[in-house]
Amino acid sequence: MKSGQSLKWLKSLGVLLFAASLYSPSAYASVEEGYLPLRSMLEQSGARVTWEQSSQTAFFTLHNGASGSVTIGSSEYKFEGTTVKLNGRIQLISDATYVPPGLIELVLSRLSAGQPPESTQPAQPDKERPRLAEVTADGETESVDSGDDAADDPAIWLHPEDSSKSRIIATNKGGGILVYDLFGKQVQSYELGKMNNIDVRYGFPLNGKKIDIAAATNRSANTVDVFAIVPETGELKSITSQPIQPAMKEVYGFSLYHSLKTDKFYALVLGKDGEFEQIELIPGTDGITGKRVRDFKVSSQAEGIVADDEYAIIYLAEEDKAIWKVGAEPGSGSKPEASVDDVNSSHLTADIEGLTLYYAADGKGYLLASSQGSSTYAVYERQGNNRYLGSFGIKDGAIDGTSETDGIDVLGFGLGDAYPNGIFVAQDDENIDNGTAVNQNFKIVAWDKLAKSFKNPLLVDNGIDPRQLVNRRK
C-alpha cells in the first residue's frame, strides 16, 4: 500500500473506532449497555460478514484476510484459530448480532496495529497472511427445491463426445440428486433421500463394458448409492445389486478412488464421528456390491474428502482441525500420514469443508479447499508437500457471490465455447436473487478467469481428460 493510501485508510479506521466508542444503543430495545451491532460496524471498515442460520453463527473476514466468528449465546469468539473469552454473551436482537463492549475495537485493532489491509507482512511472525484474490461468478444453477441448508456437494461429469454437453451432478440434502447443464438449468431430479456428498469416475468395468459412474452417501438409508451415467443424456441409473451399508452410524463425507495400479474402484466414506471406511466396489452380473477393505478414525467430525488417482493419495478435512493426507491404497495404513494445513494457520477458518483437485500436465495441479468460516477457498500445490499458494473468494457481481461453502469441484478440461478452459463450481449457502434470499444453489466460475486473478497466475491446462489419467505413484 502506498503511504498516502495507508494514511487515508488509518484515518478512516480512526473515525470508525471513535464512532464505536460513542455509539449509543439507546434507540434499540433490549440492547445491553455498550453492546454494538457486529455487521454494521465491521462492514464500515470494509470487512465481509456472513450469517449461518443453522449454527446461529456470524462469520467475518477483515480486509487483510484475517477472519473469525461469533455464535449467538456464546461468551467467546474465534479469531485466526484462537478462542478468546468475552465479557458478556453474544446476543441476537431484532435479527441483528450484537457483541459485548470492546470486541469491535479489538478486532479492528488487528488492522491498525502496523498491519494495513493490503499489507503482505504477517501480523505474527509464524503466520503467512493469505493472498486473497477475488472473482465474480460466470454462471449459477437454478435453486434447489428445498429450503434451509439443502444444496451441498457438486460433481462435474465430462461428456465422452461433446464436452459442451457435460453435466453438474449435485446433492440436495432435502431429498435427492439434481443434474444441471453447464448453463445451470436443471435437467434431471431424483428423489432418493437425504443425499450428502457425491463424486464421479470413468471406466468402471460392468458386464463387459466400461461405464461412467456417480456415487453418493445417502443419509436417509445410511448407504452408498452407485449409479451408471447414461452417456447420451447424463441420466442416472441405479446399479447396486444390494445395499452398500458402511458400519458407521451415519454416513457423511464421500469420494471415489480409482486405483491406476490395480484398476479397482473404491468408495471412500467419512462419518459424523470421524470414522473412515474404504469400500471396494465389486462388479457383478446383477450390478455392484461393496466390500470393506480398510477403516480408521480421526478425532472429530470430517466431511470433505478427495482422492488423487494419479498419486494414489487421499485428502480429508477434519472440520475444526486440519486437512490430512493418507495413502489411497487399502494397505496404506490406518492413520493420516501428514497434515497439509490446519485452522491454526491464517489460511483456513473452521469449518474446513469441500476439497477438490485440479489436474494439469506432468503431475502438476492444485488441491483446493473450502474455508467455510471465512467464505474463501485455499489453493495448494498438488505435488510434494502441498505448498500453500494463496486464497480466493467469489464476490458479488452480476451474479451474487458465495458464502460459507460446503462442497466444491473443479475440472480443467475444455467444456465447449462457454467454458473453453474448464470451471470451478461451489455451493452457495446464501443465494441472493434481486436482493432477496432464495433457496441455495451452486455458482460457476470460469477457471481461466480464476487462475488469472492470482498475483502469480495459476496454471491453465485444458487438455487433461479425466478418462486418461496417468499413474504417477513412485
pLDDT tens for residues 87-125? 788 888 877 888 887 777 777 666 554 343 333 233 333
426 touches 443 (CB < 8 A)? yes
Q: Among candidates 138, 120, 119, 136, which has minimal Cα distance to 128?
A: 120
368 touches 377 (CB < 8 A)? yes
**3-state SS class at 323:** strand
Q: What contacts 348, CB < 8 A, 6 or more positions away?
A: 323, 341, 342, 369, 371, 373, 374, 378
CA gap 454, 458 in Å, rounded: 7
pLDDT at 49: 80
Give the chain's residues under pLDDT 70.
1-34, 53-54, 63-65, 80-81, 108-131, 147, 149, 474
CA gap 188, 179 in Å, rounded: 5
CA gap 438, 402 in Å, rounded: 13
CA gap 322, 274 in Å, rounded: 12
pLDDT at 89: 85
Q: What is the DSSP pairing of strand 132-136 with strand 96-99? A: unpaired
Q: What is the DSSP pairing of strand 275-284 with strand 408-411? A: unpaired
End-to-end CA gap in the chain: 45
359 touches 307 (CB < 8 A)? no
Query: How wide is the angle at C-alpha 355 spanned by C-alphas 270 and 61, nearest 5°?
Result: 115
Cell numbers describing residue 83: 478462542
Q: What is the DSSP pairing of strand 82-85 with strand 195-206? A: unpaired
List of E strands, 137-234: 139-140, 151-157, 167-172, 176-180, 186-191, 195-206, 209-218, 223-229
CA gap 106, 88 in Å, rounded: 15
pLDDT at 109: 67
Query: How wide is the angle at C-alpha 415 spanned by C-alphas 421 and 309, nearest 5°?
Result: 80
pLDDT at 18: 42
CA distances (Å), origin 172, targets 39, 120, 219: 30, 39, 11
Q: Which amino acid is at 307?
A: A
> Which long-range contacts (C-beta less than 8 Å, at least 24 apart) are formed by 46-53?
46/117, 48/375, 48/393, 50/375, 50/403, 50/404, 50/429, 50/430, 51/97, 51/430, 52/404, 52/429, 53/148, 53/149
Cell numbers describing residue 89: 454473551
The predicted model scores a pTM of 0.77
CA gap 105, 148 in Å, rounded: 33
Cis amide leading into 428 (omega within 30): no
Q: What contacts 436, CB < 8 A, 6 or more positions away?
A: none
Q: What contacts 395, CB < 8 A, 6 or more positions away?
A: 134, 135, 136, 401
Dihedral through CA 179, CA 315, CA 132, CA 11, nearest 10? 120
Q: Among candidates 400, 359, 405, which has minimal Cα distance to 138?
A: 400
Cell numbers describing residue 165: 454437453
Q: Which amino acid is at 224?
A: V
How many CB atoms within 10 Å of residue 265?
A: 23
Cell numbers describing residue 266: 473404491
The widest CA-to-CA distance across the chain, in whole angstroms, is: 76
